[in-house]
């Protein structure tokens, strides 16, 4: 059932074109994009806006959307929990906390480190705590315990981050704007930062496709088939941490992409992770591009953080999932 992937590729191209041309004070159009491709004019303001401002923003949206969507897919596969996602289980909040410490200068040593390493450390600490407190190192796991550990850590890290912003008056506005999840100031430096780490995480996620398919059959059956449950959970955790760190380092904590996209993709292509990983990558990229485009139009000509829109969509999506799970339990 590979045809949805073939359909999603033109959808990605269309979302990319809309992201480049929509909601501009310079009246950008499709012909301007075509002229940039065939005859780029460095003296043209429209061409400069497309290449210098819109192009890096769209590329960052693609890779951030793909990274967060696949991170959510791997988390849900490892925990066998439909409500698992980086924004719900505290992994994004851990990366956000260390970024806030670095950006405000309250921990001077962090400011000297590359930003992706800073967010990787935060996501790693959060992931390790969820892994231990949620009992992911044991078999079988308790889904309720994992959820409680993740949600508790998420609120803890968010509270600490807010406290840091309050303490850092001078840099508070910049950090607060970043905390909403924004790619409005994306540059080609951000593109070069996010691409290699995202690609590495996507390759690792695709390698996990077969073990996650086995895990879907049950932990005991997976072990009987030689799936290596412990190794899969460790590698899966590292993959999630890497993908979240890459996304958060350039866009901030964009919420709920990792929760929504895997469910949408399962509805389209089924439960096979060999299809779900590439499908989630494409769907996450399309969702992020469209959400950023719509966010620009909310207060046009002023810009709005994309995280506002994804959180509004994701909150409703989360409530629907929680209600459905409650009905299934009852």
* Predicted TM-score (pTM) of this structure: 0.89
pLDDT at residue 329 greater than cutoff 50:
no
What backbone phi and psi angles, to 5 degrees, belong to 196?
A: -65, -40
Task: Identify the pLDDT of residue 303.
Answer: 81
pLDDT at residue 69 greater than cutoff 80:
yes
Length of the chain as a residue count: 330
Confirm if 98 and 110 have CB atoms less than 8 A apart: yes
The pair of structure tokens assigned to 71 is 């991170």
Q: Per-residue pLDDT averaged across 199-206, rounded?
A: 95
If one counts every other C-beta atom within 10 angstroms of the C-beta of residue 312, the result is 13
> Is 70 among the domain residues?
no
CA distances from 308 to 85, 129, 187, 253 (A): 17, 27, 21, 10
> Is 189 among the domain residues?
yes
> Is 94 among the domain residues?
yes
pLDDT at residue 183 greater than cutoff 60:
yes
> Is 188 among the domain residues?
yes
Question: Distance between CA atoms of 102 and 23, rounded to whole angstroms?
Answer: 33
Sole residue written with tokens 């996620």? 205
Task: Identify the pLDDT of residue 325.
Answer: 61
Question: Distance between CA atoms of 294 and 309, rounded to whole angstroms?
Answer: 8
Structural domain containing residue 162: 75-329
Nearest Cα neighbor of 278 from 217, 167, 194, 203 is: 203
The pair of structure tokens assigned to 187 is 């540059």
Q: Per-residue pLDDT averaged across 22-34, rounded?
A: 79
Q: For 100-139, what is each residue's pLDDT tens digit?
A: 888 877 777 777 788 888 888 888 888 888 878 877 666 6
> Is 143 among the domain residues?
yes
Confidence at 330, pLDDT banded by 50, 70, 90: very low
Longest pairwise C-alpha distance within the chain: 65
> Is 33 among the domain residues?
no
Q: For 139-178, what is each residue's pLDDT tens digit?
A: 666 667 777 888 888 889 888 888 888 776 666 666 776 7
| 139: Cβ contacts below 8 Å, ≥ 6 apart | 219, 220, 223, 229
Domains of the chain: total: 1
- Indicate the SS3 state at residue 244: helix
Q: For 225-275, what is each residue's pLDDT tens digit?
A: 666 777 888 898 899 999 998 998 888 888 889 889 999 999 999 889 999
| 34: Cβ contacts below 8 Å, ≥ 6 apart | none
CA distances from 85 to 152, 174, 175, 256 (A): 14, 26, 23, 7
HSE-up of residue 326 (Cα within 13 Å, Cβ side): 6
pLDDT at residue 25 greater than cutoff 80:
no
Share of the chain above pLDDT 90, in %: 25
Nearest Cα neighbor of 311 from 137, 42, 68 is: 68
The pair of structure tokens assigned to 245 is 């760190």
> Is 137 among the domain residues?
yes
Q: Per-residue pLDDT averaged across 65-81, rounded?
A: 91
Report the CATH number at residue 80: 1.10.3470.10
pLDDT at residue 41 greater than cutoff 50:
yes
Name the least confident of 41-55, 166-180, 212-226, 280-294: 166-180
> Is 220 among the domain residues?
yes
Task: Identify the pLDDT of residue 13.
Answer: 92
């Amino acid at each position: 059932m590979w045809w949805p992937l073939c359909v999603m590729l033109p959808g990605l191209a269309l979302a990319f074109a809309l992201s480049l041309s929509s909601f501009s004070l310079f009246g950008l159009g499709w012909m301007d994009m075509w002229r940039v491709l065939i005859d780029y004019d460095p003296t043209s303001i429209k061409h400069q806006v497309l290449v210098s401002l819109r192009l890096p923003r769209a590329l960052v949206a693609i890779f951030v959307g793909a990274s967060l969507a696949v991170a959510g897919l791997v988390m849900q596969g490892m925990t066998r929990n439909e409500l698992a996602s980086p924004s719900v289980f505290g992994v994004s909040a851990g990366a956000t906390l260390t970024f806030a410490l670095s950006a405000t200068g309250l921990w001077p040593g962090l400011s000297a480190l590359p930003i992706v390493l800073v967010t990787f450390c935060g996501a790693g600490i959060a992931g390790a705590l969820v892994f231990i407190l949620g009992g992911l190192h044991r078999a079988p796991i308790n889904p309720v315990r994992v959820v409680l550990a993740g949600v508790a850590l998420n609120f803890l890290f968010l509270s600490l981050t807010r406290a840091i912003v309050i303490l850092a008056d001078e840099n508070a506005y910049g950090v607060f704007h970043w905390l909403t999840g924004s790619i409005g100031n994306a540059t080609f430096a951000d593109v070069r930062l996010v691409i290699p780490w995202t690609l590495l995480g996507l390759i690792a996620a695709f390698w996990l496709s077969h073990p996650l398919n086995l895990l879907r059959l049950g932990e005991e059956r997976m072990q009987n088939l030689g799936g290596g449950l412990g190794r899969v959970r460790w590698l899966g955790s590292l993959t999630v941490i890497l993908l979240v760190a890459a996304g958060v380092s350039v866009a901030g904590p964009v919420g709920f992409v990792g929760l929504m996209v895997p469910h949408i993709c399962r509805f389209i292509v089924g439960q096979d992770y060999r299809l779900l990983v590439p499908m989630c990558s494409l769907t996450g990229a399309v969702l992020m591009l469209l959400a950023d485009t719509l966010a620009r139009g909310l207060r046009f000509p002023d810009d709005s953080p994309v995280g506002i829109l994804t959180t509004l969509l994701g909150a409703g999506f989360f409530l629907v999932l929680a209600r459905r799970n409650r009905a299934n339990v009852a």
